[in-house]
Amino acid sequence: MRLDGIVAVITGGAGGMGRSTALLFAREGARVVVGDVDEAVGASLADEAADLPGEIRYRPCDVSREADIAALVAEAEEHYGRLDTIFNNAGIEQPVTPTPEVGEGLFRQVIDTNLLGTFFGIKHALPALERAGGGTIVNNSSVSAFANVGGNIAYAASKGAVMSMTRVVAIEYARRNIRCNAINPGVIDTGMNQRNKALADDPEAMERRWSEITPMGRMGTGDEIAEAVLFLASPASSFITGVGLLVDGGRVAT
């Protein structure tokens, strides 16, 4: 078991790649506290993990509310006695919108969840990780920090900023046994892209385009993302900090 006994917090862990990661972590022996706004699905996670070596607890959490994140981290420490790693994963998409039509409300909504939510996760995890003697932070950025097709200015801004925060924290904590890295997923088959597809004028054309811009010619899976998160969260990546790991089927290589 690659994560035997470690204590993890995962935001946005009820769905998509967060859920895949929570289940992989529990299969590898971790005790996981998931925070998510989706209470119905979140509450089913503990049962789903019942036969796994680790376990999953769910706590309602809206990452755009600092008090929610503080309580999520506190729950890990109160229930399991420590925090070893946090995956700041919760995020929302921006419906494809030409830049002049992006309202302040939409821009703020994306930033509040994707950027502020990640900041709150980092901020509240750091003292807990220090109390545990060190640990790891993995932030969910995106290929959008490097490559875009347009119509997603708020989303790309939020994900670029997540990369910048990742580097700052890596430097601040490099000599304090806390590593901070990001993953940069390409097009992944999750609820987010199912919603993006449903909103498109021509959903089939949108799916074809996703395959065309990905050299491997397909979408990635949540399980493929989970393996990358596990690598960055675990001692297997012990000399890696401040990087973004592209998990994108070759997209940014083009």
* Interface region with ligand NAD, contact rule CB under 6 A, candidates 10-18, 73-81, 129-137, 165-173: 10-18
- Pattern 43-62, ligand NAD, x by CB under 6 A: ------------------xx
- The residue from 64, 166, 214, 237 that contacts ligand NAD (CB under 6 A) is 64
- The residue from 21, 23, 36, 245 that contacts ligand NAD (CB under 6 A) is 36
Residues 6+ apart with CB under 8 A from 226: 17, 20, 21, 23, 24, 25
- The residue from 138, 180, 192, 245 that contacts ligand NAD (CB under 6 A) is 192
Tell me, by CB under 6 A, how many residues bind ligand NAD: 29
Q: Should residue 165 be labelled a site residue for ligand NAD when binding is judged by CB under 6 A? A: no
* Interface region with ligand NAD, contact rule CB under 6 A, candidates 50-58, 171-179, 186-194, 201-209: 186-194
Q: Which two tokens stand for residue 207?
A: 């799916």
CA-closest candidate to residue 34, choices 110, 88, 93: 88
**Phi and psi based region of residue 177 (left: phi greater than 0; alpha: psi -120 to 50; beta: remaining):** left
Query: Are 220 and 189 within 8 A, CB to CB?
Result: yes
CA-closest candidate to residue 169, choices 161, 177, 158, 180: 180
E strand intervals along the chain: 7-11, 31-36, 55-60, 85-88, 135-140, 178-185, 244-247
- The residue from 8, 9, 10, 17 that contacts ligand NAD (CB under 6 A) is 17
> Can you give the binding site for ligand NAD, defined by CB under 6 A?
11-12, 14-18, 36-38, 61-64, 89-92, 113, 117, 140, 142, 185, 187-188, 190-193
